[in-house]
């Protein structure tokens, strides 16, 4: 057993697996939304609600919309694949130790223990969190560009444009800050 590998009750590893399942499920929903967003053509002016030609989003905004969608897609997919890998490593470790000879099994209060490298687990969970946070940030930027294409550029300061962008730039960073605080708290324990 390495210096970073510890015996952990199976109930604790099931909590980690459940957390990883949550990351994968949320990332999957966001990935689907981003994928659907990529199917839309931002340069098709027939879908724009802007009447003033001076307020039409520039080509760079449309390019940013597509780029941010791709970056978001890649970030969520990266986070999900790492989380899936961690889940498989935990399950393989549990299965390996469960199939050990009876005299090598470790029991604690009636539950099985399994060997988990806490450093690798923490690093993997942190990498998943970074992927999810960057995916959310890129998705927010894509949505801001989407609003500009549909409702007019930010430079025109139209009521509907600003009303749509304000919740994005307030709520998403607030949620990300809360998520980061929870991840840091869990990481320190």
**Per-residue confidence at 112, pLDDT binned at 50, 70, 90?**
low
pLDDT 10s digits, 35-44: 777 677 666 7
HEC letters along the chain: CCCCEEEEEHHHHHHHHHHHHHHHHHHHHHHHHHHHHHCCCCCCHHHCCCCCHHHCCCHHHHHHHHHHHHHHHHHHHHHHHHHHHHHHHHHHHHHHHHCCCHHHCCEECCEEEEEEEHHHHHHHHHHHHHHHHHHHHHHHHHHHHHHHHHHCCHHHCCHHHHHHHHHHHHHHHHHHHHHHHHHHHHHHC
Number of domains in the chain: 1
* Residue ranges making up the domain that contains 173: 5-188
Global pTM reads: 0.77
**Per-residue confidence at 5, pLDDT binned at 50, 70, 90?**
low
pLDDT 10s digits, 8-54: 555 556 677 777 888 888 888 887 877 777 677 666 767 778 888 89
Q: Which residue has the higher pLDDT, 21 or 108?
A: 21
């Amino acid at each position: 057993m390495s210096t970073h590998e510890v015996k952990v009750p199976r109930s604790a590893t099931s909590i980690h697996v459940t957390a990883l399942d949550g990351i994968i499920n949320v990332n999957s929903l966001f990935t689907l939304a981003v994928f659907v967003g990529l199917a839309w053509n931002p340069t098709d002016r027939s879908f724009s609600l802007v009447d003033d030609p001076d307020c039409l989003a520039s080509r760079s905004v449309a390019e940013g919309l597509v780029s941010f969608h791709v970056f978001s897609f890649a970030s969520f997919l990266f986070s999900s694949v790492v989380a899936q890998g961690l889940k498989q490593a935990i399950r393989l470790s549990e299965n390996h130790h469960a199939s050990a000879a009876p005299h090598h099994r470790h029991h604690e209060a009636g539950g099985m223990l399994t060997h988990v490298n806490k450093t690798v687990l923490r690093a993997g969970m942190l990498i998943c969190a970074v992927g999810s946070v960057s995916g959310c940030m890129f998705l927010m930027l894509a949505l801001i560009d989407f609003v500009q294409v549909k409702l007019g550029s930010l430079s025109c300061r139209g009521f509907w444009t600003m009303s749509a962008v304000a919740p994005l730039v307030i709520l998403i960073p607030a949620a990300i800050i809360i998520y980061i605080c929870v991840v840091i708290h869990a990481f320190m324990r």
